[in-house]
Amino acid sequence: MSWRDTLPPVRGKLLRDEPLGAFTWFRVGGPADVLFMPEDQADLADFLKALDPGVPVTPLGVGSNVIIRDGGVEGVVVRLGRGFNQVQVLDSISIHAGAAVPDAILARKAAEAGIAGLEFFAGIPGTVGGAVVMNAGCYGSETQDVIATATVVDRKGKVFLMGDGFDYSYRHSALQDAGLIVLSAVFEGTAGDPPESKAKIAEITSRREQTQPIREKTGGSTFKNPPGHSSWKLVDEAGWRGKLFRATGGGAMFSELHSNFMINPGEATAADIEGLGDAVRADVLAKTGVQLDWEIKRIGRSG
């Protein structure tokens, strides 16, 4: 009898061998051993508390910045949904959002409430949970600039509030290293003017639509910007913009529109996409001596 035969009872959904491609923006990837979609915070905490501590647990948001490898993901993949998508305005500068709330929705709700400073979230293709964990940012602002507290749960099912200890750096936080799952967060902006904030959001949205392949099967920014460099320029100058790379499937490429965005033009596999990224990293390093580090998270077993 395996661990999958003795899973704790839940009120949400437990799906065995569930394909994960449909849950990612690249639309690739193998199955999760188990996919758990908890009903609410208590459901998740009780499950983690009772789960065999030797079973790996991997949180997955909307899959906007992740490659699920073709062999699937070992253990339990946790995907937060309806029970974690509430937004509540707390006061004139503070807003509370569940981990499953899309970043763009957080930006819009804050603007409507007259809370300024969160407009940049309109340019981030993910959810609040992912933004808090990886210190997501764009256009000169980052999550660390506006976060006040985060409610998290650890692998043992203990729920607690964090007001510090995030240890933020560029696209990284202590939450990643500790294996914590973000449940919700409180953000603090400044008192603002709703029309002005909405205009900023419209500008960010328009700029993103014009410069990023948001209607393609993509994963957002592929590489972090090395100190003193722009990743897109390094990829472009190395000759990889629009160049098809095949490993095991139909192939992947860096977008013609933005050369730091990989896209699945049709029938790519996860091996195609990750292989393209690794090939470009090696080529750029050989040509320029600059190391490109992944911003996209790669998880799971190779196919």
Answer yes or no: do 190 and 225 share one domain. no
> Is the pLDDT reported for residue 288 higher than 90?
yes
Q: Is residue 274 flagged as an active site residue?
A: no
- Residue 195 and residue 102 share a domain: yes
pLDDT digits (tens, 9 = 90+) for 248-261: 999 999 999 999 99
* Percent of all residues in the chain with a pLDDT value above 70, rounded to a whole number: 100
Q: Are residues 112 and 203 in the same domain?
A: yes
- What whole-number distance in Å separates Cα of residue 170 and Cα of residue 103? 18
Alpha helices in 117-269 (DSSP H): 128-134, 174-178, 194-211, 231-237
Nearest to 202, CA basis, from 108, 64, 94: 108
Q: Angle 191-194-197 (CA atoms, 0-180°, nearest 5)? A: 85
pTM of the entire predicted model: 0.93
My answer on whether 99 and 76 are in the same domain is no
> Domain with 229 in it: what CATH number?
3.90.78.10
Number of domains the chain is built from: 3
* Catalytic pick among 94, 173, 184, 221: 221
Q: Which of 210, 239, 264 is the last residue of a domain?
A: 210
- Do 131 and 239 share a domain, yes or no? no
Same domain, 88 and 206: yes
Domain that holds residue 244: 213-299
Task: Name the pLDDT band for 185 (thresholds 50, 70, 90).
Answer: very high
**Is 221 a residue of the active site?**
yes
Based on the fold, state whether residues 72 and 10 are members of the same structural domain.
yes
Instruction: Find out whether 221 and 168 touch, Cβ atoms under 8 Å.
Output: no
DSSP code for 290? P
User: Which of 65, 82, 99 finishes a domain?
Assistant: 82
Would the CA dihedral through 68, 69, 72, 77 be positive or negative? negative
Considering the candidates 69, 108, 171, 208, report the single residue annotated as catalytic. Answer: 171
Domain-terminating residue out of 210, 243, 271:
210
Same domain as 206, residue 105: yes
Within the chain, strands assigned E span: 13-19, 31-37, 57-60, 66-68, 73-79, 87-89, 94-98, 115-116, 137-138, 141-142, 147-153, 159-162, 181-188, 190-191, 217-221, 253-254, 261-264, 297-299
5 Cβ partners below 8 Å, 6+ apart?
none
Whether residue 295 lies in the annotated active site: yes
Please tell me whether residues 110 and 204 are part of one structural domain. Answer: yes
Say whether both 180 and 135 belong to one domain: yes
Q: Is the same domain home to 205 and 89?
A: yes
Question: Which one from 18, 142, 274, 295 is the annotated catalytic residue?
Answer: 295
pLDDT digits (tens, 9 = 90+) for 115-160: 999 999 999 999 999 999 999 999 999 999 999 999 999 999 999 9
